[in-house]
Amino acid sequence: MRTILALSLGAALCAAAQAAAGQSLPALPSGFQADPTSVSYAMRGTKANDSMSPCFGDPKIIFSYGWVLNPAGKMMIDMLVKTPQDPAATSSQTGVLDEPVSKQAYKGGVLEWRRQTWPVITGHPCKDSHVIFYSGKWTGYSGDKMIGISVDRLYNSKDQGQGWIDEYITKLAGVGNSN
């Protein structure tokens, strides 16, 4: 059921994207490099995990946000609030454990946090046996627009990501109301 809901939501958002291309988005937070494939209604950027040991390589933080026309936004958010988070699962290909942290109605939308535990390859020079990252996403609406904000690969803490999500909820609500 959750997969069908997610696919339906995705299809509705994609179908409306072309009509939404007439407005631009605010700039990325300081320190992020824009993805060259970003468009006027969706922005994506990356930056280094500053507090992360170089021992693990450089899995960059990914921050993305955007909006699409969707006059059924309130109904979609009501459905998302009622849908449970996906359960914890370990990838058979990578060994990454992905597990729910929290999901709640938040600032007129739905805020969801997940934790990923990445195993460190045996024989790697790092002392730790695993690395923990957090991913957060907020989905909401403003006027006739669905708004999405996500941050992925936050090393050891979701605090900075929550700050970016809160900041961009405000910034995107303004874009969503300008017609």
At 23 the pLDDT is 62
Cβ(111)–Cβ(136) below 8 Å: yes
At 61 the pLDDT is 94
Q: How far is CA 39 from the centre of its chain?
A: 17
pTM for this structure? 0.80
Cβ(138)–Cβ(110) below 8 Å: yes
Domain range enclosing 23: 2-177
pLDDT digits (tens, 9 = 90+) for 110-141: 999 999 998 877 666 677 778 899 999 999 99
pLDDT digits (tens, 9 = 90+) for 16-47: 444 444 467 899 999 999 988 777 678 999 99
- Here the tokens at position 110 are 């739905």
pLDDT digits (tens, 9 = 90+) for 54-69: 667 768 999 999 998 8
At 125 the pLDDT is 66
Cβ(106)–Cβ(138) below 8 Å: yes
Q: Is the pLDDT of residue 15 over 60?
A: no
Radius of gyration of the chain (CA): 17
Split into its structural domains, the chain has a count of: 1
Q: What three-state secondary structure class fits 72?
A: coil
